[in-house]
Amino acid sequence: MMNIPTDLLRTLVAVVDLRSFTKAAQSFGVTQPAVSAQIKRLQFLLGFELLDKSAPGVSLTLRGQEVVKAARQMLSINDHILSLTSGGHAARTLRVCISGDFIGARIPTLLANFRKRWPFVRFIVNGASFEQVQRGLQMGELDLAVAVAKAEPAIPSRHLWTDPAVWVRSEATQIDPHLPVPLISFGEECSCRYTAVQALNRVGRSCEFVYTSRSIVGLEAAVVAGMGVMVLPRSRVGDTCLSIWEDPPLPALPNLYCGVFLREGSNWAPLEELADEIGSTVRPRLGEAEHEPEPEPMRPRMLGAG
C-alpha cells in the first residue's frame, strides 16, 4: 500500500495558507524550487493536479480542496501523536483572522499569554471579509476568527452577540448636507463600510470614500483630522480616541453581528480555551450592546447618551 509522506502534505498546506511558493519556502528554510518539486511529487503520487494553473496566484482544483482538507486533519493527528511523545512540544501553527474592528482590542495580549502556556504554537494572523472567513473556516484554512457580519451568520459560532453600529466623529468633523458623506473605513470587505453605504442609500444620500486603511491608528488619525466619519460597533469605540455621534444628521444604523468562530471539526481543547478567553474579553458587558442573541434574542433597550 502506498503511503503519502507528511512532509509533502505539510508543504502543500503551507503553500495554500501563505498563498505563495516563495513564502512557503522561506517558512521552511528551503528554496522555492524545492517546494515546487515537493508539490510535483505529491501530485505524481496522487495522480492528479492539485493546483489550478488557469487561475492567478495559488488556487486549488476541486480535488485539491478535498486533499488539503484531509491533509489538515492528517497533520493534526500527526502533530498530536508527536506531542504525546515529546512532552507537548510539537510545533503547531494556528491561523487566525481578526476583523479590523477588533485589531485595536486586547487580542494580541491574549495570544502572547497563550504562547507562554503553549510555547510551541505559532500564529499567522490576517484580516478578511466575513464571506472569506466563512469559507476559510469551512475549508479548514482558518483555525479561529473574530469577525463582524452584517447579518446573522449561517455558520456555528463559539460566541455570538449583537452590537449596534454607530457613527463616530471627532471635534473637527463637519458634514455638508449638500455634498456626499465622506467615509473612512477598513476597505471594501469591511461590514461596517457596507452598513454605512446601505444606510445612506436607504435615505438617498451619496458618499465618497476619502480614506481607506488596514490600520486602526491611521483611521483614527483621519477621523481626528476631520476628513470624514466612520462606522464602528458601539462597544469598540472605547478602544479608540473617537466619540460616538449620538444624534447625527445621518441615517440610523442597524445592529451588527460579532462573534468568535472556530474551524469546523476543531477539537483541540487549548484552542477552544483561547476562543473563550477572546470571547470574554471582546464581548461587551451586559448593557453595552443593544441585545445579545445567546441564548434568546432580547428586545433592544434604550441607552443613555454617552
SS3 for 229-267, per residue?
EEEEEHHHHHHCCCEECCCCCCCCCCEEEEEEEECCCCC
Please give the grid coordinates belonging to residue 177: 448636507
* First-last CA distance in the chain: 68
pLDDT at position 50, please? 93
In whole angstroms, give the CA distance from residue 161 to residue 159.
7
pLDDT score recorded for residue 292: 44
- The Cα 117–Cα 40 span in angstroms is 38
Instruction: Residue 128: name the closest of 303, 261, 286, 5 by CA.
Output: 261
Confidence of residue 84 (pLDDT cuts 50, 70, 90): low
Percent of the chain with pLDDT over 70: 88
The helix or strand, by DSSP H or E, that contains position 160, with its residue range, turns out to be strand 159-169
Closest CA to 58 of 99, 20, 103: 20
- Taking CB atoms within 8 Å and a gap of at least 24, the contacts of 151-155 are 151/257, 152/257, 152/293, 153/257, 153/259, 153/261, 155/261, 155/264
Asked if pLDDT for residue 176 goes beyond 90, the answer is yes
All structural domains of the chain, each given as residue ranges with its CATH number in brackets, are 1-73 (1.10.10.10), 163-255 (3.40.190.10)
The angle that helices 6-18 and 32-46 make with each other, rounded to 10 degrees, is: 120
- Taking only the tens place, the pLDDT of each residue in 241-258 is 899 999 999 999 999 999
> DSSP secondary-structure letter at 56?
S
Beta bridge mates, 176: none
CA torsion, ordered 238, 240, 242, 246, to nearest 10 deg: -30
Q: Quick one: 260 exposed, middle or buried, by C-beta within 10 A (0-12, 13-18, 19+)? A: buried
The contacts of residue 128 (CB under 8 Å, 6+ apart) are: 97, 136, 189
Mean pLDDT value of segment 200-211: 95
Q: Once rounded to an integer, what is the mean pLDDT over residues 61-65? A: 92
Give pLDDT tens digits for 265-300: 777 888 999 999 999 988 887 655 444 444 433 333
Place of cell 453600529: 165
Buried b (16+ CB within 10 A) or exposed e, 95-117: bbbbbbbbbbbebeebbeebeee
